[in-house]
Amino acid sequence: MHVRITTPFHPAYVTAERIKKAKNLEFLLTAGIGSDHIDLPAAAAAGLTVAEVTGSNTVSVAGDELLRILILLRNFLPGYQQVVQDEWNVAGIAHRAYDLEGKTVGTVGAGRIGRLLLQRLKPFNCNLLYHDRLQIDPELEKEIGVKFEEDLDAMLPKCDVIVINTPLTEKTRGMFNKERIAKMKKGVIVVNNARGAIMDARAVADACSSGHIAGYGGDVWFPQPAPKDHPWRYMPNHAMTPHISGTTIDAQLRYADGVRDMLDRYFKGEDFPVQNYIVKEG
């Protein structure tokens, strides 16, 4: 093949070995956002172009993050399970249910998705914090009512809810290990729709079991698909799903339009929008 279209992690990782075997390959196109399922150094060494449909599912993922925050804070899932199991114990749910209003919510990463989440959280009257390499526009900070935290480890103990919105890089891989999780407030809610490998899977499961993390929700795992014995399948107080947050029908239509547009440009020898490039001709 000359062109390979994939979605993040599914159905396969684009490894250095697979790139080496594909002698005609010129272009790797991700139908979605996040090309860390591709061995990017190997793609660059082979002179390939890697691109994705930047921005295509940001609205979908941000909406899903807000949903998971509410599901976990309100202790929704055990209530649903009571109904399914023909039970009725209001006190058994209420003792772990809280309002979002007045809570401190921090996002680790304030790119497209992180900013959309902060905007959606504003009407809930939360205390909003963010940590990122770069500070967002001061006018937008003021409009949302969000405060920049330069030091991640100083931000974590302040937060009732922490949302992971940073890309997976060699710097962020395993970023939330046992030591960093210990810096979080006891009873914290954690939502991660970014990448599973940002978290130490065992450390998260242990923190959920001890109650240090009161609830963990997300749809990203490592590896993907998750094996049957993955500890997140069995840890208490979780709201995990397969990788679905960015795959609404609306998002899929945006993927399709973006893929069609970039293929059209590729065959005409035209450049893509600059923000869509991950690797350009090596």
pLDDT digits (tens, 9 = 90+) for 181-194: 999 999 999 999 99
Mark whether 57 is an active-site residue.
Answer: yes
pLDDT tens per residue across span 66-93: 999 999 999 999 999 999 999 999 999 9
Structurally, at CATH architecture level, domain 57-238 sits in 3-Layer(aba) Sandwich (3.40)
> What is the pLDDT tens value at each position of the chain, 282 positions in all?
999 999 888 778 999 999 999 999 999 999 999 888 999 999 999 999 999 999 999 999 999 999 999 999 999 999 999 999 999 999 999 999 999 999 999 999 999 999 999 999 999 999 999 999 999 999 999 999 999 999 999 999 999 999 999 999 889 999 999 999 999 999 999 999 999 999 999 999 999 999 999 999 999 999 999 999 999 999 999 999 999 999 999 999 999 999 999 999 999 999 999 999 999 999
Out of 37, 131, 195, 238, pick the active-site residue. 195
Q: Encode pLDDT of 22-63 as tens digits.
A: 999 999 999 999 888 999 999 999 999 999 999 999 999 999
Give yes or no: 85 in active site.
Answer: no
CATH fold of 1-51+247-277: Rossmann fold (3.40.50)
Element (DSSP H or E) covering residue 126: none
Is 195 a known active-site residue?
A: yes
Question: In whole numbers, what is the pLDDT of the chain averaged over residues?
Answer: 96
Considering 57, 165, 192, 276, which one is annotated as catalytic? Answer: 57
Same CATH fold assignment for domains 1-51+247-277 and 57-238: yes
Q: Which residues contact 124 (CB under 8 A, 6 or more apart)?
A: 100, 101
112, 131, 230, 243: the catalytic one is 243
Domain boundaries, the chain: 1-51+247-277, 57-238
Distance CA 63, CA 83 (A): 26
Beta bridge partners of 238: 216
Annotated catalytic residue, options 224, 230, 237, 254:
224
Separation between Cα atoms, residue 242 and residue 11, nearest integer Å: 13
